[in-house]
């Protein structure tokens, strides 16, 4: 089979699944003994941020070393729980990825930890549908740099990035790839940005963008 050089790349939180309820549970198991609590609205605003950004947003009252250590404890609690139980996949994710896999290289690029991404792939038996993935937790790079890294590593000639926040849009622009807004997710982008209203629309829009 001819090697695929055209890719569809995805963000994770707010694009492929919504794990906010499960992550909220894990965080409060860590925070409650410390007299702290995080609510759903607070959790939603953290989705898609890097671990350091999460710490700065959520625990600004703590000295840097303490806030980063506490955030690491919370993040470390997520993966084991999600690895076994998973979270809520958005409608038709599996079926649509199977369609895309027939034509495109499929990648995952997220600001999450590496274990979090692996938990997603394992819990929903999706590892075979992704050709490669990259995370901020593994590289320490921002999302735009990780998109570029994945493209270079796999010698991808053309790609689009599908995500749900303005930060995803900025990352795609930094990597010089077109962006498709997942409007079912957590964030917002300028109104003139190309958008999909549900996951099953991605193949048709990808074809129109990539010409393949």
CATH class in words for 6-18+89-210: alpha beta
Domain map (residue ranges) of the chain: 6-18+89-210, 20-85
Contact 172, 147 (CB under 8 A): yes
Over the stretch 42-98, which tens digit does the pLDDT of each residue have?
A: 988 888 788 899 999 999 999 999 999 999 999 999 999 999 999 999 999 999 999
Other C-beta atoms within 10 Å of 30: how many? 18
Tell me if the pTM is above 0.75.
yes
User: For 23-32, which contacts have Cβ atoms below 8 Å and span 24 or more sequence positions?
Assistant: 23/78, 23/82, 23/87, 25/81, 26/74, 26/77, 26/78, 26/81, 27/74, 27/77, 27/78, 29/77, 30/70, 30/73, 30/74, 30/77, 31/74
Over the stretch 92-130, which tens digit does the pLDDT of each residue have?
A: 999 999 999 999 999 999 999 999 999 999 999 999 999
Tokens of 200: 């099953």
Could you give the percent of the chain with pLDDT greater than 70?
99
Q: How large is the C-alpha radius of gyration of the chain?
A: 17
């Amino acid at each position: 089979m001819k090697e695929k050089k055209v890719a569809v790349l995805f963000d994770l939180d707010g694009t492929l699944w919504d794990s906010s309820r499960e992550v909220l549970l894990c965080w409060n198991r860590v925070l409650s003994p410390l007299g702290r609590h995080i609510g759903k609205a607070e959790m939603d605003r953290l989705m898609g941020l890097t671990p350091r950004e999460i710490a700065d947003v959520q625990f600004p009252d703590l000295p840097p070393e303490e806030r980063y250590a506490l955030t690491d404890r919370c993040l470390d609690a997520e993966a084991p729980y999600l690895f076994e139980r998973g979270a809520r996949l958005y409608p038709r994710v599996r079926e649509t990825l199977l369609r895309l896999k027939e034509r495109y290289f499929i990648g995952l690029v997220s600001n999450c930890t590496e274990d979090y991404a692996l938990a997603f792939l394992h819990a929903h038996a999706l590892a075979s549908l992704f050709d490669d993935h990259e995370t901020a937790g593994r590289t320490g790079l921002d999302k735009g740099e990780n998109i570029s890294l994945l493209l270079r590593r796999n010698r991808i000639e053309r790609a689009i990035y599908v995500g749900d926040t303005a930060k995803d849009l900025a990352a795609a622009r930094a990597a010089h790839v077109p962006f498709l807004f997942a409007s079912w997710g957590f964030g917002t982008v300028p109104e003139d940005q190309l958008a999909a209203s549900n996951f099953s629309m991605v193949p048709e829009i990808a074809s129109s963008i990539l010409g393949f």
